[in-house]
């Protein structure tokens, strides 16, 4: 049995601009060289190159850095479905690491599993490309995240 | 009822040097400016300054960056109790975010909850200091992590 | 550094009666033979006997059954700090299993880590007693849970 | 991009009998009335009826009971791919609750995300049927689980 997931309807017609604006204000994304590759209601794809500055002791990308991109992807997948005026915060996330994050670049795909007025649950996967011609990237990490819509809290604008 | 946790006995008398060596090889730690503040068997404390390069859209440190430091702290708390020759990898972790990561610096404390030959479970907390005189830092995040001892796998040296 | 956690102040002077009432309406607790052993603001202790009816394939208590009691403990630790009129629901939880759940009875201790108007984060531990004279029970499982205060939703009364 | 997941190859030609045998020894499954509905390499589907004996305070099935069935489904999805002689234990799991577990029966589907010699990561979903004619069951919970193959440990036979 596969319960088909209907396409998501954004509550904010301006969802694309607000996600892009917010993404562009995340200095961590700029520092890591993350690119917003795809954006649809409830779905975000990000890409990030390997960067030796962010490796762990074996030369792989640090699990926390892959998690950083997974979290941003989940946050904006959720944000794309939120009402106008809401800001977005991560409540919690869990990441499983399935293979070492080695490769020349990584692709992170996040999808909303369950949208909600206050809480939205997202799933995301990270794939590693061994080289630029790699046509079958390897699944390296999987995240489940709970994302919250926040309104009217000081210091947390949209 | 409080079941007292006995002090951990390291299986490797050389635990201090091996943790420091491995920590120093994590380029992500150097890039983020993380300092190894304390190291005891089964316990690691790290400190990291606020850095605008790693902020999210509201100017707080990115949840994934705090998670990166929590993960390293858990990994080395576990590593400090592993047998000689084992390498350390993160299997999975979960982070709850309890308050925005605002402040001038952050202190991350990780402790082994249950050591094991193959798997070690760790808990860690992140605290934020509002300024350098702050004597009551605020709890901003909490992690539980499962860490694995790996031996004899190509490309993953100690 | 240990940041001392001040005692929690219940927002509802009637917190004890409301927790006991709600606990008594959980038929799963009655079926499993769970007893409410302690209740303070932000803290709940439950006890449950071993029961062969709820074992897994090796004769240990099923991980999901221990999780059921951990979840109830977290839910009521959070509920004890909620405002009058709020109902309580579990948003998500994660359990790590540290040792097989063998023993004659189990003690589950839950504490609020961070209370909030909407979301409360709790931590809980499960301990196993090998026999009735066992003075040093073994830690068998650890949970982190996110609990939500719900108001005005049909079918979900306090 | 969808990276196609090839069909899993069981390492044990006897996988079906060993899963069924182990499932039948889980007394918790018999007590809850859980039925093994489907079994393929790396995939398990279970069904469980609503049972007032296992409800929480609002009359929904207890989150921990749904989790119990999700855990068993993940465990046996992983077990179906393990080598002969290995026993199966849950290392950790996380469940997100997406809607109240109300309905006449529930269907739990677990799939291996990443098999491994020691650790296997599984994902599972729980769906609720409002009545017996319900053709579009509702997603009520989602689990990610880490499952371990154990060999040669006393008291833990296959």
Residues A44-61: pLDDT tens digits?
999 999 999 999 999 999
Q: In Å, how far is A118's CA from the nearest CA of chain C?
A: 9
Average pLDDT, rounded, for chain D? 94
pLDDT per residue, tens digit, chain B (158 aa), is: 444 455 799 999 999 999 999 999 999 999 999 999 999 999 999 999 999 999 999 999 999 999 999 999 999 999 999 999 999 999 999 999 999 999 999 999 999 999 999 999 999 999 999 999 999 999 999 999 999 999 877 667 66
**Which among C46, C56, C17, C19 has a CA at the least distance from the CA of C105?**
C46
Nearest-angstrom CA–CA distance, B65 and B121: 21
In a domain, C35, yes or no: yes
Report pLDDT for C1.
43
**Which among B96, B101, B98 has a CA at the least distance from the CA of B62?**
B101
DSSP string, D48-83: EE--GGGB-TTSSBPHHHHHHHHHHHHHHHHHTTSP
Q: At what angle do helices C63-79 and C15-25 cross, to 10 degrees?
A: 150
Report pLDDT for A95.
98
pLDDT of residue D110 exceeding 60: yes
pLDDT of residue A157 exceeding 80: no
Q: In Å, how far is A154's CA from the nearest CA of chain C?
A: 16
- Is the CB of B142 less than 8 angstroms away from the CB of C127? no
Interface of A with B in 115-144 (CB under 8 A): none
Report pLDDT for A3.
44
Given pLDDT bands bounded at 50, 70 and 90, which one contains residue A6? Answer: low
Report pLDDT for C4.
42
Residue D49: other Cβ atoms inside 10 A? 14
In a domain, B5, yes or no: no
Average pLDDT, rounded, for chain C? 94
Q: Tell me the two tokens of residue C111.
A: 């504490």
Using the Cβ of A153 and the Cβ atoms of chain B, whether some distance falls under 8 Å is answered with no
pLDDT of residue A154 exceeding 60: yes
D127 CB neighbours in chain A (<8 A) are: 1, 3
Handedness of CA D134, D135, D138, D144 (dihedral sign): positive
C91 CB neighbours in chain B (<8 A) are: none
3-state helix, strand, coil in chain A (%, to 5): 25, 40, 40
pLDDT of residue A137 exceeding 70: yes
Q: In Å, how far is B124's CA from the nearest CA of chain A?
A: 14
Report pLDDT for B152.
79
Instruction: Output DSSP code: residue A7.
Output: P
Helix (H, G, I), strand (E, B), or coil: what is residue A31?
A: helix
- Whole-angstrom CA distances from B47 to B30, C5, D14, D63, D110 are 12, 21, 52, 38, 40
In a domain, D6, yes or no: no
Tens digit of each residue's pLDDT (9 = 90 or more) over C64-95: 999 999 999 999 999 999 999 999 999 999 99
Interface of A with D in 23-52 (CB under 8 A): 45
Residues A96, A98, A102, A107: what is their CA dihedral angle, to the nearest 10 degrees? Answer: -70
Range of the domain at B142: 15-150
Q: Tell me the two tokens of residue C121.
A: 């984060």
Residue with tokens 């849970």: C145
C contact test, residue of D28, D57, D151 with most C CBs within 10 A: D57
**Domain tally for chain C?**
1
Instruction: Output DSSP code: residue D2.
Output: -
Report pLDDT for B43.
98
Average pLDDT over residues C43-51: 98
- Whole-angstrom CA distances from C149 to A87, C76, C78, C80, C84 are 20, 11, 9, 11, 10
Residue A60: other Cβ atoms inside 10 A? 23
Q: How many CA atoms lie within 13 A of D146 on its CB side?
A: 27
Q: Is D128 in contact with D101 (CB distance < 8 Å)? A: yes
Average pLDDT over residues C11-23: 97
pLDDT of residue D2 exceeding 90: no
Nearest-angstrom CA–CA distance, D6 and D33: 33
- Is the CB of A63 less than 8 angstroms away from the CB of B71? yes
Report pLDDT for C153.
77
In a domain, C78, yes or no: yes
CB-nearest partner of C62 from D58, D63, D68: D68
Report pLDDT for D1.
43
Long-range contacts of B23-28 (CB under 8 A, 24+ apart): B23/A57, B23/B72, B23/B76, B25/A57, B26/A55, B26/A56, B26/A57, B26/A62, B26/B72, B27/A52, B27/A53, B27/A54, B27/A55, B28/A53, B28/A54, B28/A55, B28/A56, B28/A62, B28/A64, B28/A65, B28/B68, B28/B72
In a domain, B103, yes or no: yes
Q: What distance lies between CA D13 and its chain's CA centroid?
A: 21
Q: What is the CATH number of the domain that holds A125?
A: 3.10.129.10
Q: Write down the ipTM of this complex.
A: 0.95
- Whole-angstrom CA distances from B120 to A118, B8, C79, D23, D119 are 35, 13, 32, 28, 13
In a domain, B34, yes or no: yes
- Is the CB of A144 less than 8 angstroms away from the CB of D96? yes
Q: Tell me the two tokens of residue B50.
A: 């606020």
Tens digit of each residue's pLDDT (9 = 90 or more) over D81-91: 999 999 999 99
Q: Tell me the two tokens of residue C89.
A: 């629901």
Report pLDDT for B105.
98
Tens digit of each residue's pLDDT (9 = 90 or more) over D20-32: 999 999 999 999 9
In a domain, D126, yes or no: yes
pLDDT of residue C2 exceeding 60: no
pLDDT of residue A1 exceeding 50: no
CB-nearest partner of C146 from B96, B113, B144: B96
In a domain, C6, yes or no: no
- Is the CB of C65 less than 8 angstroms away from the CB of D94? no
């Amino acid at each position: 049995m596969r319960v088909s997931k209907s396409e998501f309807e954004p509550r904010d017609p301006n969802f694309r601009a607000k996600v892009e604006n917010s993404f562009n204000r995340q200095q961590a994304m700029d520092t890591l060289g993350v690119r917003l590759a795809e954006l649809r209601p409830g779905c975000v794809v990000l890409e990030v190159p390997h960067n030796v500055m962010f490796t762990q002791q074996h030369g792989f990308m640090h699990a926390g850095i892959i998690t950083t991109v997974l979290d941003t992807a989940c946050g904006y997948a959720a944000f794309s479905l939120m009402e106008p005026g809401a800001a977005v915060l991560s409540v919690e996330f869990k990441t499983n690491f399935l293979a070492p994050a080695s490769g020349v670049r990584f692709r992170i795909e996040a999808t909303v599993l369950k949208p909600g007025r206050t809480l939205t649950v997202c799933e995301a996967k990270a794939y590693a490309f061994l080289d630029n011609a790699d046509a079958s990237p390897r699944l390296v990490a999987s995240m489940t995240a709970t994302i919250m819509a926040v309104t009217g809290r000081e210091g947390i604008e949209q």
